[in-house]
Structure 1
Amino acid sequence: MSREPKARTRAEIGRANRDKGIRAERDVGRYLRVHGWPDAERKSDNGWKASDRESADLGDIRGTPGLVFQVKARGSLSTREITGILAETTEQAMAAGADYGVVVQRRDGKSDPGVWWAWLPAADVGGLIEAARNPDALYVADPKLGMPVRLELADLVTLLHRAGYGEADAA
């Protein structure tokens, strides 16, 4: 007599996905604390909108001055999805008064956030490289360079430190 596994309800699936996202956000916050942002932590409140008021979403991680991080715990995202998420992250960075918005995507089968994908527009990567090379230079981003660029979070952290973000000595 075989028993079929009970199908999960939409609510159970939704809760499981929410919990997975929260764990990924905590993991990124912990990783950033260890690697140069001692105040980094998951931000549990989101933006909201009412009929007469609004509070902007300022990203998933707080305590990273000049930076906004949005964390996605989905193993695969299409180019279209990444482009849309990067646009949202750019809006969050502008609302927070941050210089850069970063999307961190959890990779399936990888528990170390240092090897998760970090996504930025190409213009932002160019700005960080220029700031790392010459901190006194003024970089003007080319709006035509909005295509997504992917690197591992550990490599982005190194680049961010070289560009003057976080505490490189603490890492």
Structure 2
Amino acid sequence: MIEITNEQIERVNLILGGIKNAPNKAFYNTINRALMTVRSKSGKMIRETYRIKQSDITSNQNMKLKRASMRNLEGQIEFAGSVIPLIKFKVTPSEPKRKTVSVSVLRTEGGKRLQSAYVANLGRYGAGVFERMTSKRETSQQLFGPSTAHMMGNAGVIQKVEAAAQETIDKRIEHEISRILNGYV
């Protein structure tokens, strides 16, 4: 959770307290800019931790953004989405072959061998990593990695995103104060 500190609140109220609605304008603009930072930096921070492309993150994510307003100085961003097929992460071999499949989801970990898994291209469904559950052919199921929400829940990813948002708040408060004092309301 990212918050505006008491010192920042007192400073804004002290400087802008005499101007009608100025403190609230400064706060809601700052909060909304921090939300935009979280939205833009989240994919980058996920890619620093996980072996996945930005396009795969975006296509499997559902992001709900609740902006702050003059009356409600609270913003919120929620990440949701379905699990991402394992083939979207680093898989060796990436084409259908009869070799042992090795998968790496996190950048800090090496590939893990999946003994009963194989890569197959199922036409309209595309390529995927499958695992046979029994000796019968029709008992295969596709394997999946984490969802975007789970990847955002990683402690390292959250810490980096919160640090970027807090930096935006610290810079933006000063910018909003000077903006309002210069007559840009």
Structure with the larger helix share:
2
Structure with the larger strand share:
2
TM-score normalized by the length of structure 1: 0.28
Structure having greater relative contact order (Cα 8 Å, sep ≥ 6): 2
Say which one has the larger Rg: 2
